[in-house]
Amino acid sequence: MDDFYRDYILDHYRNPRNFGTLERSDAQAEDLNPLCGDEIRMQLKLDDGVVEDVRFSGKGCAISQASASMLTEMVKGMKLADVAKLSKDAVLENVGIGISPTRMKCAMLGLRVLKSAAIGELAGWPDEE
Amino acid sequence: MDDFYRDYILDHYRNPRNFGTLERSDAQAEDLNPLCGDEIRMQLKLDDGVVEDVRFSGKGCAISQASASMLTEMVKGMKLADVAKLSKDAVLENVGIGISPTRMKCAMLGLRVLKSAAIGELAGWPDEE
Amino acid sequence: MSVAATPKVDAIVADFPILARPTSRGKRLVYLDSAATSQKPRAVIQALVDYYEQYNANIHRGVYEIAARATTEYERARVKLARFVGAQTSEIVWVRNTTEAINLVAYSWGSSNLRAGDALLLTELEHHSDLVPWQLLAQRTGAELRFIPVDDRGVLVLDDLDRLLEGCKLVAIAHVSNTLGTIAPLETIIPRAHAAGAVVLVDGAQGAPHLPVDVKALDADFYTFSGHKMLGPTGIGVLYGKHDLLAAMPPFVTGGDMIRRVEYAHTTFNDPPRKFEAGTSNIADAIAFGVAAEYLQAIGMEWVREHERILTGYALGRLAEFEPRGLAIYGPRDPALVSGVISFNFADVHAHDLASILDTEGVCVRAGHHCTMPLMDKMGWAATARASFYIYNSEADVDALCSGIEKAARVFGV
Amino acid sequence: MSVAATPKVDAIVADFPILARPTSRGKRLVYLDSAATSQKPRAVIQALVDYYEQYNANIHRGVYEIAARATTEYERARVKLARFVGAQTSEIVWVRNTTEAINLVAYSWGSSNLRAGDALLLTELEHHSDLVPWQLLAQRTGAELRFIPVDDRGVLVLDDLDRLLEGCKLVAIAHVSNTLGTIAPLETIIPRAHAAGAVVLVDGAQGAPHLPVDVKALDADFYTFSGHKMLGPTGIGVLYGKHDLLAAMPPFVTGGDMIRRVEYAHTTFNDPPRKFEAGTSNIADAIAFGVAAEYLQAIGMEWVREHERILTGYALGRLAEFEPRGLAIYGPRDPALVSGVISFNFADVHAHDLASILDTEGVCVRAGHHCTMPLMDKMGWAATARASFYIYNSEADVDALCSGIEKAARVFGV
Ligand SMILES: Cc1ncc(COP(=O)(O)O)c(C=O)c1O
Ligand SMILES: Cc1ncc(COP(=O)(O)O)c(C=O)c1O
């Protein structure tokens, strides 16, 4: 696990890319990890079904924040339909090795939120309760 | 435990003494052993604080019925105040040896009901709810 | 050679340490009270020891190694139980026992779905645990309690079922009666209950341990069972509920670990099954219950059922030999209709006295009302003796029971 | 030589099999998460094995030998727990855990004693388990929830207590905060609550394991605690309630074994504590919990408290060395005010990351909100790391924690 905290991870943690909020977004979602309280919000700006811009915000551990940050870099320019299909492995390849099972939820929080934004936008959100 | 089922116990079980009901009684009580469903009712006829007559009714195992039966024989002619003070050991001496802990509640059911009748009469029953 | 006498039973017996221990009188332990609680194989006991000696830690929120292992094993046990009854994992809620599972449904589903004038339909066979919670729910809501009657053999009489189902919101029914062993015709009752708009809770306390159960094939809405009756430890049981029902129900016991977000004034809850599991779970026993379910699946529930059917048939035959001397057998006489339970009385020997004398021979049977007082009253039985069988019982155990009854006959001069 | 370093700790450690097992990385297990759940001594584990291998049977209704032994041991465990907190035996109700105990009171006492307009008083420190059940009770009844505030060190501010108690029917308060370790001034609060006509429930989940507790001296009306946090198994806990309160309360979970007489339409209930124990109890774990209580009493709860006080003092001193590098300690700095719990954060290393790095060194701490989300929000902490101590911890464990923090400093370049 200590292998995990490489320089580039700590760099993403301390200098998260695409961090902040968009005033207007085309798709967005947020979620929290109820076990630890980590929160992430993802906003997408779309152009003809392609991710033109993306922002994330939230707070949490190095793992959740760095994976979210790296994820935002990865999805810029991607088709929304492909974002909706992103796999766990794609994220894991990106962040590198050494995530222990207990921390997997942290690493996947950004992905979960991002996919939920993408899938929601593709499906059309149901009426809010 | 098999030692317990002596002839005189079985005789009391099959031919319980003072079994039945009094049309008018001066003190009475009933209870059940919620674990097995055994039930016993005791009625006392008093004369100047002395047990003149006694009847029990109910159903149950040889232990509960025989001990109740033997108890009724024991208390005839006793002062009510002494009935209220009867001890577990008095009953055990009466019924003989060999009662296992699991069956103690059976052996004591009659005593419990009888004492509750005596104590209630001595104290004056509180208003029924 | 009958199934009951196959070498398989000997191998099974060898897995149960308690069965190798003689009683204080030096008798072989002949355990015929598995309907009350079953004995435990070594693997289940070892699972507890392993947990406490190797990876005891609180689950879900722990980052460190033993907490991760505890979480994994605990959730893996849930998967095993889901497989055992053919459910999805998220449909398996850990509870203490069947009783708590039924109460959970009565409080949570009941309070949010039942109104004055609605009806609840039970059967006259129900265990107190599948009766009292509904009585209180009926009192709280003003709903009406109805009962599917039984005949004098304890078989459910379905003639009036459609009338009984009118206006009925929930049917609660024992899969197998713990007093008489009768198996309920769920395949008839459940579709008709659904057609009438009722949800069906099956009290599987005696079903899951003894019969192959597939909750999806049964189409039960809720199915409840206890670990301790199926080789698992005390203190753990399962509520199965269809996902959509569980998702719509309010929580029952609330507190740590079942929440999503808590503020001083307001709480949002987690998804099922976690929504219903408040506070520190019975982690060790859940894991050991998973091992018990695996053990049963390795033996095969078809084999369990067949073994008990044959053994019950043998016992019914042997007990019948005492009928001329006043032994009365209750419940159906056909082993195809009953799981491995036989209730009986012997002449004027009260069931408690019979059980005490059998105890002197190492034979453990239950005596009393078996938590079915209303049924006993209806039938006019003050108490019955009950012998119940499981995978570790053999014809030799039935023979020991019969020798014990002979002894009672001698002692009581029957 | 400090208490924390006495040979007694070595002897205690030798009683805990898990502490002799190295982690997968070959490190010594440094268990600093006893506030989540404690480790178990051999005697407790052995009590489980003995029960399952020697006398596993259902209780209360069994006539045969092993059922009698099970009943005796189970009820004897109740006596041990009663002694442990200074209660009468009939005032000890077995439950699964603290959470269930609090829910029992919220449902049973709450629903029959609380009306719209009444108030419930908690503190801002409460664990979710002593908050969410009261939120829902307040919603059901229309009662108002109030909170005793805490200052920025997590110490209760009692300035407004009398006003907060006006119209208050129940006060629920943690004996010890699981997040900050602060010990509540019960000797001040309980008499004033009683004077105002409120009953007091003390959430003793972190009290009973760590402090000498006498419920009569405290004059608590209810006191709740969990076996797993005090050397006992998971799945068993205790609700202490004053006899008259318990006797007047309606049952909560209902079913087998808590009844006096059942008819199809109506039930009369048994007396407390049995009235509140429905279905097959967690027999094995209750018995093992009794052994845990005995183990603690043999050590002496005064010693336990003193040991933890000294160790906490030592840990506060060692952690203070990191303050120049950004370590923040929450909660009071005075070991006389806290039980063995320290919450902290280190520079910009998130608590989860810190816990992960400590794990690589065999050091187990908890990280997160510790089931006190509202407190965390109020204090503005996203998460904290928490080290908590028990009888088997020593100064060497604190040193291991500090080496682990050094490692985190290296990894994160702090
Ligand atoms: C103060 C406090 N109250 C309540 C609880 C809940 O205890 P349990 O999870 O055993 O129900 C805990 C345990 O985390 C606690 O620390
Ligand atoms: C048919 C039936 N239902 C419910 C129960 C209650 O099970 P438990 O005591 O495990 O809650 C039992 C067990 O005695 C039973 O046999």
Return the partners of chain D (3 or more C-beta pairs < 8 Å): A, B, C
- Token pair 């063995």 is at which residue? D340
C-alpha C123: how far from chain center = 16
Res. C3 pLDDT band, cuts 50 70 90: low
Interface of C with B (CB under 8 A): 348-353, 356-357, 359-360, 367-369, 373, 376, 382-383, 407, 411-413
- Residue-wise pLDDT tens digits, C103-129: 999 999 999 999 999 999 999 999 999
Check D367 against A36: CB less than 8 A apart.
yes
pLDDT at B102: 77
Mean pLDDT of chain D: 96
pLDDT at A128: 37
Ligand nearest to the CA of C232: 2
Q: Percent of chain C scored above 70 by pLDDT? A: 98
Query: What's the CA gap between B40 and B26, in Å, rounded?
Result: 17
> Identity (one letter) of the amino acid at D160?
D
Check B34 against D71: CB less than 8 A apart.
no
Q: Which residues of C fall within a CB distance of 8 Å from B36?
A: 352, 367-369, 383
Minimal C-alpha gap between B81 and chain C (Å)? 33
pLDDT at C162: 97
Q: Are D114 and D293 in contact (CB under 8 A)?
A: no
DSSP three-state, residue D339: coil
Query: What's the CA gap between D289 and D282, in Å, rounded?
Result: 10
Q: Identify the weakest region by mean pLDDT among C2-16, C34-48, D140-154, D244-258.
A: C2-16
The binding-site residues of ligand 1, defined as CB within 6 angstroms of any ligand atom, are C 256, 279-280; D 97-99, 127, 129-130, 174, 178, 203, 205-206, 226, 371
Minimal C-alpha gap between A103 and chain C (Å)? 7
Taking alpha carbons only, the member of C88, C60, C63, C91 closest to residue C74 is C60
- CA of C257 from ligand 1 middle (Å) equals 10
- Residue-wise pLDDT tens digits, B16-44: 999 999 999 999 999 887 666 788 999 99
Task: State the best of C63, C121, C390 to mutate against chain D, taking most chain D CBs within 10 Å.
Answer: C63
- Average confidence (pLDDT) over C163-188: 98
- CA of D399 from ligand 2 middle (Å) equals 51
Q: Identify the weakest region by mean pLDDT among C259-263, C293-297, D132-136, D385-389.
A: C259-263
Q: Percent of chain C scored above 90 by pLDDT? A: 96
Res. C100 pLDDT band, cuts 50 70 90: very high
Q: Which residues of D124-133 are buried (b: 16+ CB within 10 A; e: fewer)?
A: bbbbbbbbbb
- Residue-wise pLDDT tens digits, B43-82: 999 999 999 999 999 988 999 999 999 999 999 999 999 9
- Average confidence (pLDDT) over A72-83: 94
| Rg, C-alpha atoms of chain D | 22
- Residue-wise pLDDT tens digits, D310-321: 999 999 999 999
- Average confidence (pLDDT) over C213-218: 98
Domains for chain B: give ranges and CATH numbers: 2-122 (3.90.1010.10)
Strand residue runs (E) in D175-296: 199-203, 222-226, 237-241, 259-262, 267-269
User: Is the pLDDT at A126 greater than 70, yes or no?
Assistant: no
- Residue-wise pLDDT tens digits, A33-42: 766 678 899 9
Taking alpha carbons only, the member of D220, D110, D127 closest to residue D179 is D127
**DSSP per-residue letters across D130-173:** GTHHHHHHHHHHTPEEEEE-B-TTS-B--TTHHHHHTTEEEEEE
Q: Are D201 and D105 in contact (CB under 8 A)?
A: yes
User: Which residue among C64, C72, C259 places its CB closest to the CB of A34?
Assistant: C259
Taking alpha carbons only, the member of D313, D318, D383, D381 closest to residue D354 is D383
Res. D76 pLDDT band, cuts 50 70 90: very high
Res. A2 pLDDT band, cuts 50 70 90: low
Query: Is the CB of B102 inside 8 Å of chain D's CB atoms?
Result: yes
pLDDT at A104: 86
- Residue-wise pLDDT tens digits, D198-228: 999 999 999 999 999 999 999 999 999 999 9
pLDDT at A125: 57
CA-nearest residue to A58 within chain D is D382
Cis peptide before C185 (omega within 30 of 0): no
Task: Spell out the CATH class of C3-31+300-412.
Answer: alpha beta
- Average confidence (pLDDT) over C338-342: 96
Record: fold of D46-298 = Aspartate Aminotransferase; domain 2 (3.40.640)
- Token pair 């030999």 is at which residue? C321
User: Which residue among D39, D97, D145 places its CB closest to the CB of C56?
Assistant: D39
Query: What's the CA gap between A107 and B1, in Å, rounded?
Result: 66
User: Is the pLDDT at D6 greater than 80, yes or no?
Assistant: no
Q: Given the DSSP bridges, would you call strands D144-148 and D119-123 parallel, antiparallel or unpaired?
A: parallel
DSSP state of D251: P
Mean pLDDT of chain C: 96
Res. D186 pLDDT band, cuts 50 70 90: very high
- Residue-wise pLDDT tens digits, D157-170: 999 999 999 999 99
Query: What's the CA gap between A24 and A22, in Å, rounded?
Result: 5
> Identity (one letter) of the amino acid at D124?
E
ipTM entry: 0.94
Q: Percent of chain D scored above 70 by pLDDT? A: 98
Q: Do chains B and A touch (3 or more CB pairs under 8 A)?
A: no
- Residue-wise pLDDT tens digits, C56-90: 999 977 789 999 999 999 999 999 999 999 999 99
Q: Are C211 and C266 in contact (CB under 8 A)?
A: no
Structure tokens, C109 = 């589903």
User: Is the pLDDT at D304 greater than 90, yes or no?
Assistant: yes
pLDDT at A102: 77
Domain ranges, ordered by start, for chain D: 3-31+300-412, 46-298
Check residue D162 and give left, alpha or beta (phi > 0: left; psi -120 to 50: alpha).
alpha
Structure tokens, D122 = 């908690």
CA-nearest residue to C262 within chain A is A34
- Residue-wise pLDDT tens digits, C48-64: 999 999 999 999 777 89
